[in-house]
Amino acid sequence: MDLINKTTMLTSFNCTVDTSYRFAYYQIAYSLIFSFGLASNVMALRSLWLRPRNLTSTAVYMANLVVVDLFFIVSLPLRIYYYYNRYHNRAWFPGRAFCLLTFALKYISLYGGIFFLACIGVDRYFAVVHPLRQHLRRVRTARMLSSGIWLLVLALSLSLPFLLSAASLTNHPCMLDPSSQRHYTFILVALVLVQTAFLLPALLLLFSYCSVLRVLCRLALRKKAQHRRTLTVIYWVLGVFLLCFAPYHFNLLGYTLTHMGVLRSCNLGKVTTALHPVVLSLASSNCCLNPLIYYFSSNLVHN
């Protein structure tokens, strides 16, 4: 939801927020994310490809996670160019195809990352809590589940931009005005979709983490050491969720509801609007942090 003006007006209760900094901020943030994300994911993909093919279900989820990240990374140069033009008040404005493509790639990265991270956490759950159910951790099962996740992510990622396209009557297809009554239904549907797509994997991951921790607490010290890498992986996955995804979705909830006039709080509207570029860049930075999970799970990937 990129608004074109230097300030953002919450028209429902006449509240103005200065957001002029966001064009320069996005250029810097996305340039850093592109540089670090491209280097780290190419290294992770190369390592996955060159290692022996004695792969596990964890390797399947990690490989899909890398591909999801690369989808978003390749779209960043166009995003940076777009914000560069907006910062310098140039007349260039992307067409509808550009906006739909970049929106779709963003959501593929965001929710593909969420779902595949949740798969890694659940995979560790079955490895520790239910070690006898190895059929659920077969490579074939992981590939089938990954295919299903791709279908779900593509359906979600393509439906959201088309909701945007259907709602937009202006000449700025990248802009969806949350205060417009015509957009009300479209925005509520999109909000429910994205919040559900975050909350369900997050709850599943928390359940997996608590279950693994409970089992490890009952094990002897020697056996705990054998599962230390599993616990480290789950810590990293939870860390990415808490750092990247949770702030974005919580802020998005307040941001959208205040712009729609459902929550009539000028202070909340100002805070969530000012924080929106920051939490969006944090959510995007998951493509830089995901390869670290591969690093800490490398022995689980090929053993």
Q: What is the pLDDT of residue 182?
A: 55
The structure tokens listed for 6 are 């230097």
* Domain extent listing, the chain: 7-302
Nearest to 171 by CA among 270, 84, 243, 93: 93
Residue 53 pLDDT: 57
Q: What is the pLDDT of residue 118?
A: 92
Whole-number Å distance between alpha carbons of 242 and 221: 29
Whether residue 278 contacts residue 244, with contact meaning beta carbons closer than 8 Å, is answered with no
Q: Return phi, psi of residue 269, to 5°.
A: -65, -40
The answer to whether 57 touches 125, Cβ cutoff 8 Å, is no
pLDDT, position 91: 58
In angstroms, the CA 291 to CA 297 distance is: 10
7-302 domain in CATH 3.30.1490.20? no
pLDDT tens digits for the chain (303 residues)?
444 455 565 655 667 777 778 889 999 999 999 999 999 888 888 877 766 556 788 888 988 998 999 988 988 988 888 888 877 776 556 666 777 777 788 888 889 999 999 998 888 888 888 887 777 788 899 999 999 999 999 888 877 666 655 555 444 545 444 544 556 777 788 888 889 999 999 999 899 888 888 887 776 655 655 567 777 778 888 888 889 999 999 999 998 888 777 888 888 888 888 899 999 999 999 999 888 887 766 655 555
- Strands of the chain (E only): list them: 7-10, 15-18
SS (H, E, C) 185-200: HHHHHHHHHHHHHHHH
Residue 4: what pLDDT? Answer: 44
Hey, what amino acid is at 52? Answer: P
